[in-house]
Amino acid sequence: MLRGVVGKSLGFLGYAIQYGCIAHCTFEYIGEIVICSGPSMEPTIKNYDVLVCENLSRHLYSIHKGDVIIAKSPNKPNVNICKRIIGLEGDKVCTSGPSDLIKRHTYVPKGHVWLEGDNLKNSTDSRSYGPVPYALIRGRVSFRLWPLHSFGTLQESPNGRVLQDK
């Protein structure tokens, strides 16, 4: 009797470990569902929107200017941020705020990206903490699941700052 209970317990533990490994690999390498909070990406992404984030782009180095991504915060590594990529390595980007009279520019260093929220007046982004290492990118936002009336792909940047050239 004890042998049967131990055998079933070990069998269950084995299945739990297998499914845990499958779930981990799925969320790490394929994609995940995320809930965004905060005003920094409004009007594109509103508070508590549910998004699908695919992680294959990060591994295949197919992240482009204009993509909305989920990344680890450079200031708080236990927090994820949702921002739009404004510049890739080598791009010249404006580091000034929208209301600054004197515009400053810099180049994005190798292995980094420049991230900004669509709500420029209410976003803590690369203008505050500088270029973000590519390794902090978790994945690219594919489409919105919730709210249902907004289901589908995301719109382009409302402020047009993505159109900058090198």
Digit-by-digit pLDDT tens for the chain (166 residues) are 777 777 888 888 888 998 888 888 887 778 888 888 888 888 888 888 899 899 888 878 788 998 999 999 998 889 899 999 999 999 998 887 667 778 888 899 999 999 998 888 888 888 888 899 998 999 999 888 888 777 777 766 666 555 444 4
Q: Is 40 a catalytic residue?
A: yes
CATH of domain 31-163: 2.10.109.10
> Among 90, 93, 67, 88, which residue's Cα sits nearest to residue 132?
88
Count CB neighbours of 116 within 10 A.
Answer: 24
Residue found by looking up tokens 């509103």 in the block: 46
Q: Which residue in the list 57, 83, 123, 126 is annotated as catalytic?
A: 83
Q: Is 83 a catalytic residue?
A: yes
Q: Which residue in the list 8, 9, 37, 40 is annotated as catalytic?
A: 40
